[in-house]
Amino acid sequence: MCLSLPCTDKDEWQLEFPFCGGQKQSPINIDTNSTIFSHELQPIVLAGYSLDPSEQLSLMNNGHTVVLQLPGSLTIASGYPQEYRAMQLHLHWGSPEGPGSEHTVDGRRYDGEIHMVYYNPSCGSIKEAMKQPGGLAVLAAFLQVGPEDNMHYQPLLEQLHKVQEEGKETTVAGFNIEGLLPANLGRYYRYSGSLTTPPCYQTVNWTVFNWTVLLSKEQISLLETTLQGDDDTDLQNNFRLTQRLHGRKVLASFQ
Ligand SMILES: NS(=O)(=O)c1c(F)c(F)c(SCCc2ccc(C(=O)O)cc2)c(F)c1NC1CCCCCCC1
Ligand SMILES: [Zn+2]
């Protein structure tokens, strides 16, 4: 069974996780000629993201990605009709041989992708929200090589060596989490999809920002070459291949 990513586009996951074979799967390719402008899509406004350094956050290598647990006090104050509270953020990346974003735009794969995962508290517990349409939201932004270090990412990247092996965990002092996202949160794509990993629940309200996040080549390389997954192999290319739309529409907050 294909559990190491990227999986073939005939995901073998569906043998054990039936939703993975569903018709509202993620990630997708965003065809910018087919997106539909919606003036209802207001800028994303975040609340409570400047965390005090006294707050300690768990950073873990779970064998598939590196996950930073986030306090539920981080919310999406505007941009969705429902209330969403933060759960965790994690990253997807490629290897020195190629890029590793999950979503693509007009067929272009970016160097990496950050996902901030939220749940809708009116759906009950996280476990219950995960199984309800609109129960989850993910804010996604592309990571791209740029000319200089992105200091907002240093609190994460400088700890990677402490979680090199699968299962390793460390703590990160609170920092400005919003700095991990693009400066412009008003330009984004919106569609209904799924988790990109088993159990692939089709309950995710996706936001994919149009502006990218620039990191230096050294920072991207650190991400690509530091972590190990199952049986000490390099943790690289942890992206799922793009899935068919099956008639879904992708909205855009901009023209
Ligand atoms: N892109 S994504 O949001 O679908 C996603 C991935 F692509 C992911 F690859 C992951 S990590 C793989 C799933 C996993 C594996 C182990 C453990 C553990 O040992 O604790 C936990 C989770 C991953 F954690 C997530 N996000 C999680 C999905 C799993 C459970 C739902 C709640 C948090 C979001
Ligand atoms: Zn993800």
Residue type, 250: V
Quote the pLDDT of residue 45: 96
Tell me how far the alpha carbon of residue 199 lies from the centroid of ligand 1, in angstroms.
Answer: 9
Residue 90 annotated as catalytic: no
Tens of pLDDT, residue by residue over 22-40, are: 999 999 999 999 999 999 9
Quote the pLDDT of residue 232: 82
CA within 13 Å, CB half, 246: 12
Q: What is the pTM of this model?
A: 0.96
Look at 244 and 9; give whichever has higher pLDDT. 244
Quote the pLDDT of residue 165: 97
Confidence category of residue 12, pLDDT binned at 50, 70, 90? confident
Tell me how far the alpha carbon of residue 66 lies from the centroid of ligand 1, in angstroms.
Answer: 10
d(C-alpha 238, C-alpha 243), whole Å: 15
Give the closest residue to 84 by CA, choosing from 39, 35, 117: 117
d(C-alpha 40, C-alpha 184), whole Å: 17
Average pLDDT in the chain: 95
Confidence category of residue 82, pLDDT binned at 50, 70, 90? very high
Is the CB of residue 195 below 6 angstroms from any atom belonging to ligand 1? yes
Tokens (6 digits) for 173: 């002092």
Average pLDDT score over residue span 116-120:
98
Give the closest residue to 25 by CA, choosing from 252, 199, 141, 187: 199
Tens of pLDDT, residue by residue over 49-76, are: 999 999 999 999 999 999 999 999 999 9
Q: So what's the ipTM on this one? A: 0.95
Write a three-state SS string for the chain.
CCCCCCCCCCCCHHHHCHHHHCCCCCCCEECCCCCEECCCCCCCEEECCECCCCCEEEEEECCCCEEEECCCCCEEEECCCCCCEEEEEEEEECECCECCCCCEECCEECCEEEEEEEECHHHCCHHHHCCCCCCEEEEEEEEEEECCCCHHHHHHHCCHHHHCCCCCEEEEECCEHHHHCCCCCCCEEEEEECCCCCCCCCCEEEEEECCCEEEEHHHHHHHHHHCECHHHCECCCCCCCCCCCCCCCCEECCC
pLDDT at 127 over 80: yes
Quote the pLDDT of residue 5: 58
| Residue to mutate, 59, 64, 128, 130, ligand 1, most ligand atoms under 8 Å from C-beta | 64
pLDDT at 138 over 70: yes
Quote the pLDDT of residue 231: 81
Tens of pLDDT, residue by residue over 90-115, are: 999 999 999 999 999 999 999 999 99
Tens of pLDDT, residue by residue over 182-235, are: 999 999 999 999 999 999 999 999 999 999 999 999 999 999 999 999 888 999
Quote the pLDDT of residue 230: 86
d(C-alpha 202, C-alpha 185), whole Å: 24
Report CA torsion sign: 69, 94, 251, 131: negative
